[in-house]
Structure 1
């Protein structure tokens, strides 16, 4: 056959199948555009000269990886819908005399056409929108500088390789379908229904166990470090459990509906339930994917928006004072020397302190089991992250110096202030090694010795130095124990002068030979804003990608359902079923199953809420109310979008079954 005939056939096929091909092609273009923009930003050399650029580069590189991996899975999965709809067409070509190798050549030309169009349009739109997206990134991150568009050959080559790999895999999968099928199978391939599936009890149990295990990890997690280390495991378990329960659980639900004769033998229920039951194996996978993607949209958008809007809260959590001086493993003489150096530097600059806190403590890395604290050598299980904790030991004098309040502790009594993990300390005693003190809970107080802690903290306040040293000795190990000094300073000064004052104090301490570090809040602000702005930018990109994938799967699911149901509804109309009754059947079928992924995604999000909040604490975000509000608003907005998608796809479904 003439090679130009293959090319013309391929072009004609794409044109005839534009209702199915166009949405897929638009998805490819959108994916290419997003990947190219993110890849171009990640290699922009101008970023390297900006403060905080390391955060942006790290996050955009991560974004390139995530978008690339997701694109492969999503576009290959979406292509499977096209292959199913094209089987009859390929079967007809075979009947008319084309060999399978000829059909493969046509398929190759189609892949080339779509790949070239997707690449040209995607990269073209990427170039046009790159400057706008870069300006958005600059606005979100607050970085300053002069930026120019830099066309990146590296970004283009990565984009070409990604798209080529996707279309090559799609071509090979389509070729495999053609090679293993006989002509009659191809002709009826898009009409083959599923045999009525069985609700296998083993699948139901697997779904309950894996989903329950994922939920258990989320609900029982007690520390930020534990949440971070188990996050991926929990996500995988919930995803697997969702797939099992949608396949086995949905079948069980439909069978229960079928057994309920009062429900089943109604016109608008009968056709919908019976039709869905016979194709549930395929539908369940689509519904589970919609659910997982919806959960991803809800979590990614709510987390990133919340982090960005709460940047001031996070900044003050991490840097509790305008100037913070921190020292570890210091002697009392070094601490006194540091205080004198700071006081002299402030006096030399002619400044007046608005607030100063000189806090001294003993910091220990310990393992906690209920009310018992022990040093690393006394721990029975060193890998139990939920028991890994930071313990701060203070005297009452240290506490009063820090808070301005007196506790009036008795001998043999320790005040306990739990932070983050436990809202209370429900024990009458506190045990340190083999020593026991009476516990006086102080949950109404809060104290922050080090804003950079990423593990859970407990503060123990003792009556005097003698009792604190007894507690230190009882820990059983001094390997991770050190005398800490925290000196927090606040001035009534503009932001620029705060940085200048902090730098002079740093220079004075360094000249005195003191091994401490000085953190200046306003000096660190650009870096924090750059990191959170880049996180929001990443969240918007990934959220839009997930949303696009969700809409595409919903659309193809509805279109596929429409073609599968068209002949059946035509028969129903011929035997007396009105268009109004057909529409009622459609509404019953769609509503029964369509909103199940949304409801399940909301449940997943609610269960993950405390789990995710603990991870966000590692980024110094602790405003639970703000996160709850952001999550709630995201759920409402997404639900509205979901309903709109339902309305549009339901009309497409109805048009198909009416043809």
Structure 2
């Protein structure tokens, strides 16, 4: 009997449950996609770049678990709000509390299992679809990559079952503590703002002050270090809540007092709709604004990490390509390089701890030694020239720079660099060796050729320590670490976006049944349907727009936090902002459509 009641409850409100299902399916699909990579040890360990990103992915998995748990909690609240009246009716007809708890458990677990199963199937498809793009972004091999990864399926099922088990217990406890009449009229209890104007002004000042403290903490990360993050989080959460709790009410009341504005069309009704339940929306709006900031910030920072991979490589190594062989294959590969601005070959001999160079080669074409900033990157393309004459100015550092470029020497401390004439060089014992430096107009366009050259160098000198002088080697290392961070940023950003928009949508649609009566009354009074739809769109635009606007402000200040990690955290900021707002707008339009379907149909 309980199973029939549970299934009939889902069937009777199928439209609302489809909204809930779709959100849960998206969350489980995203979770599976991430876990398919984060838990695939063979894929990670068998790729050099992937191994660098292992910690990054595992950290992202933990963060995604937290986000998903919060999201499912909101979805669970939406589920409970849809069934409160039904449960109250069953209780009035004599159903025992234990039976209602069983009914809640069956419904919650049924929805959870179904949505998770469909989400995993969708996740497998999406993982296969985006797999190649992801592998290209990370710069790793596709070996051991699998869209269908059984451990990820087990982890996803286990996590969501635990979450829904907790959700069912929470629902049962909530239901057992509420009187029947409260359940029957839960959607009809208004939350009017009775706070005094002076208190609202005080809350506004405290809210703005808290946000200022939070923004200051993020900008002062170098001084505050680890304490900056908790200070910023607490201050911004408090500031966001107080800002919505006080400022929105003050603005609405001021607009309602402006009769020329408020009395036009249904503006007064729309403002009253927002004001009617403002307290119940304060928490959700402040939460969404923070999630919005985290989502947009994650995507922006992820894009920043991705864009900085070639820039860090450019600023980390002086020369784009360095070769140490004059064989036919090396000449063939280097001939394919495009946009070569400079190509210089240097000759040297190694005798014990002594390295000898021909002085005229360095006089004609000095080796460039970069000036570096606090991050170890080349500062504003400033270089010093290494010549026999300038060697004494900074002998230790210049020696290290030259040793990095030659083959067969790894003892930086005890190796001495010497410059001799061409005649003296020819009289020295030992086989002459060479290295050739290339400076290119654009390293990125030569990435494929640089990789082939590096692989050939690795085969010729498998036991050497030449890899530190290779720009491609630095590019590959940063692709593994920063590419993983970039992917995590994109992925978590999209996860945040899907969950925050769905959470706000659930909150709005949860009260749509009660709003239906007010719109029916307005229709009977002769109000045109076009005006009613405009009122709905305006109301929901405010509810979606307020957290988005505050979230954007959070991001603009929050990017200061990443100055210690990114060269320019604001570079290319418009692209993720525009893309994010477009996706957010789509969620808004879907919510408007669903809300209109509920409240406008008799």
TM exceeds 0.5? yes
Counterpart among 1, 15, 26 of residue 22 in structure 2:
26
Secondary structure, aligned partner of 1:550: helix
Q: Find the counterpart in structure 1 of residue 565 from structure 2.
A: 616
Superposition pairs for residues 419-568 of structure 1, below 5 Å? Answer: 447=382, 486-487=400-401, 491-492=437-438, 495=450, 518-568=468-518
Q: Find the counterpart in structure 2 of residue 91 from structure 1.
A: 88
Q: How far is the alpha carbon of 1:548 from its aligned partner?
A: 0.9
Q: Find the counterpart in structure 2 of residue 60 from structure 1.
A: 57
Superposition pairs for residues 32-47 of structure 1, below 5 Å? Answer: 32-44=28-40, 45-47=42-44
TM-score normalised per structure 2: 0.75
- Deviation per CA, 1:215-244: give whole Å up to 9, x if none: 2223455x4x86776245424432332122
Q: How far is the alpha carbon of 1:71 from its aligned partner?
A: 0.4
Q: How far is the alpha carbon of 1:22 from its aligned partner?
A: 1.9
**Alignment partners' CA distance in 2, 1:391 and 1:591:** 44
Q: How far is the alpha carbon of 1:140 from its aligned partner?
A: 1.3
Q: Report the CA distance shift for 1:485/1:188 in structure 2 as closer, same or farther (over 3 A).
A: farther
Q: Report the CA distance shift for 1:230/1:574 in structure 2 as closer, same or farther (over 3 A).
A: same
Matched, 1:628 2:568: no
Q: Find the counterpart in structure 1 of residue 367 from structure 2.
A: 356
Q: Report the CA distance shift for 1:579/1:532 in structure 2 as closer, same or farther (over 3 A).
A: same
Q: Report the CA distance shift for 1:226/1:270 in structure 2 as closer, same or farther (over 3 A).
A: same
**Alignment partners' CA distance in 2, 1:20 and 1:227:** 46
**Alignment partners' CA distance in 2, 1:178 and 1:341:** 83
The gaps in structure 1 that reach 5 residues or longer are: 325-336, 364-388, 393-417, 421-444, 450-463, 469-481, 511-516
- Deviation per CA, 1:512-569: give whole Å up to 9, x if none: xxxxx95432233322222233223222321221121132123223323433322122
Q: Find the counterpart in structure 2 of residue 272 from structure 1.
A: 270
Contact 1:269 1:589 (C-alpha < 8 Å) held by counterparts: no
Contact 2:241 2:286 (C-alpha < 8 Å) held by counterparts: yes
The gaps in structure 2 that reach 5 residues or longer are: 323-347, 385-391, 406-435, 440-448
Contact 2:497 2:584 (C-alpha < 8 Å) held by counterparts: no
Contact 2:220 2:228 (C-alpha < 8 Å) held by counterparts: no
Contact 1:499 1:522 (C-alpha < 8 Å) held by counterparts: no
**Alignment partners' CA distance in 1, 2:399 and 2:117:** 60
Superposition pairs for residues 60-459 of structure 1, below 5 Å? Answer: 60-144=57-141, 146-147=143-144, 149=146, 154-198=151-195, 200-201=199-200, 203-219=203-219, 223=222, 230-231=228-229, 233-321=231-319, 344=355, 356-357=367-368, 447=382
Secondary structure, aligned partner of 2:190: coil
Q: Report the CA distance shift for 1:205/1:272 in structure 2 as closer, same or farther (over 3 A).
A: same
Contact 1:86 1:190 (C-alpha < 8 Å) held by counterparts: no
Counterpart among 578, 581, 599 of residue 531 in structure 2:
581
Q: How far is the alpha carbon of 1:281 from its aligned partner?
A: 0.8
Q: Report the CA distance shift for 1:586/1:31 in structure 2 as closer, same or farther (over 3 A).
A: closer
**Alignment partners' CA distance in 2, 1:63 and 1:499:** 32
**Alignment partners' CA distance in 1, 2:465 and 2:33:** 46
- Deviation per CA, 1:138-183: give whole Å up to 9, x if none: 2212223533538655434432331122112211221122111222
**Alignment partners' CA distance in 1, 2:132 and 2:101:** 45
Contact 2:30 2:123 (C-alpha < 8 Å) held by counterparts: yes
Counterpart among 4, 11, 15 of residue 15 in structure 1:
11
Q: Find the counterpart in structure 1 of residue 413 from structure 2.
A: none
Matched, 1:600 2:550: yes
Contact 2:315 2:378 (C-alpha < 8 Å) held by counterparts: no
Q: How far is the alpha carbon of 1:358 from its aligned partner?
A: 5.3
More helix, by proportion: 2
**Alignment partners' CA distance in 2, 1:312 and 1:390:** 19
Contact 1:29 1:121 (C-alpha < 8 Å) held by counterparts: yes
Q: Report the CA distance shift for 1:318/1:102 in structure 2 as closer, same or farther (over 3 A).
A: same
Query: How many residue pairs get matched?
Result: 520
Contact 2:139 2:479 (C-alpha < 8 Å) held by counterparts: yes
Q: Find the counterpart in structure 1 of residue 594 from structure 2.
A: 652
**Alignment partners' CA distance in 2, 1:75 and 1:448:** 55
Deviates further, 517-526 or 66-75: 517-526
**Alignment partners' CA distance in 2, 1:147 and 1:574:** 65
**Alignment partners' CA distance in 2, 1:589 and 1:148:** 47
Q: Report the CA distance shift for 1:187/1:628 in structure 2 as closer, same or farther (over 3 A).
A: same
Secondary structure, aligned partner of 1:149: coil
TM-score normalised per structure 1: 0.69
Matched, 1:590 2:540: yes
Secondary structure, aligned partner of 1:628: coil
**Alignment partners' CA distance in 1, 2:14 and 2:375:** 65
Q: Report the CA distance shift for 1:506/1:33 in structure 2 as closer, same or farther (over 3 A).
A: closer
Q: How far is the alpha carbon of 1:104 from its aligned partner?
A: 1.2
**Alignment partners' CA distance in 1, 2:524 and 2:477:** 69
Q: How far is the alpha carbon of 1:600 from its aligned partner?
A: 1.9
**Alignment partners' CA distance in 2, 1:605 and 1:196:** 30
Q: How far is the alpha carbon of 1:355 from its aligned partner?
A: 5.3
- Deviation per CA, 1:163-218: give whole Å up to 9, x if none: 12211221122112211122222111222221334264454344222211012223
**Alignment partners' CA distance in 2, 1:561 and 1:320:** 62
Q: How far is the alpha carbon of 1:38 from its aligned partner?
A: 2.1
Q: How far is the alpha carbon of 1:504 from its aligned partner?
A: 9.2
Q: How far is the alpha carbon of 1:279 from its aligned partner?
A: 0.4
Secondary structure, aligned partner of 1:196: coil
Q: Find the counterpart in structure 2 of residue 385 from structure 1.
A: none
Contact 1:243 1:285 (C-alpha < 8 Å) held by counterparts: yes
**Alignment partners' CA distance in 2, 1:571 and 1:318:** 69
Contact 2:350 2:356 (C-alpha < 8 Å) held by counterparts: no
Deviates further, 520-529 or 104-113: 520-529
Contact 1:342 1:508 (C-alpha < 8 Å) held by counterparts: no
